[in-house]
Amino acid sequence: MELKSLLVSVTMLGLLAGCQVNNSQEITDSVNQSFAEQANYQQTTLIDQQDPNSHGQAQKTNQITVNDDKMTEAKIIVKQNDQDHQYLEMKQENDGTTYIRENNDEWLQSAHSNQEIDRVTLLSSQQVQQLFNVIAQEGTWQQYPQSTQIEFAGENDDLLHLLNSVASQQISPGAQHQISIRLNPSSINQPINTIIWEINGTGRTKGQAVKTRVEIQYTDSLE
């Protein structure tokens, strides 16, 4: 399946690592224009949350396909401790961002015996665009030989609210964010390459330490 990627036109400013980016506003405008014009792309989002008292770690990788700015397909790949990965199809609800998983297989029934469905809300393209624009405004831009990178470190409760809208554990305000957005102007197929978003904070319910890592990748195809 061919997918139209986000298209960013970026002029390379130098070959030395860590050069200052002088056309950051031009790049920002180009990325936003790409979000407005793109029709199809695939985005992989990994949200991994853990606390020191947990006895196991579950990883969920959300694979979604976006067509005309609406998510039309989603899979949740779940790995709990040493179990094999489970590929679970999701069904879309009316809001276009929340998917339900039916309790219709043996593994899911044993893992969630008291639930008929699981609900998972994925990051929409608008939310990723919001994340990009906040970091584009507040972050530090650097030019490298093969990419442009934006770095941000600090508190941002608007971004925390964005994370809490999709995360399994709610985090209290004042959390520390470490965010890196990589643009790849040398490739027209993957102009927004990777967003790495790490949050260190405390949970709202028990006040325990919570570490969250969010990885967002744009690709032409997903294996």
DSSP string of 67-79, one letter each residue: ETTEEEEEEEEEE
Q: Which CATH architecture has domain 24-219?
A: Clam (2.50)
What region, left, alpha or beta, does residue 161 occupy, with left being phi > 0 and alpha being psi -120 to 50 degrees? alpha
pLDDT at position 74, please? 52
Pairing relation of β-strands 209-219 and 86-89?
unpaired
Residue recorded with tokens 């609900």: 119
Residue 198: Cβ-neighbour burial (10 angstroms; 0-12, 13-18, 19+): middle
User: Per DSSP, what are the bridge partners of residue 58?
Assistant: 80
Helices (H), the chain: 24-37, 106-111, 125-138, 157-164
Among 45-59, 71-85, 113-127, 160-174, the minimum mean pLDDT is found in 71-85
pLDDT band at 193 (very low <50, low <70, confident <90, very high): confident
pLDDT in tens, 9-54: 332 333 344 677 888 898 888 888 877 776 555 566 667 777 655 5
Using CA atoms, how far residue 138 sits from 75, 79, 103, 113, 174, in Å, is: 33, 35, 43, 45, 17
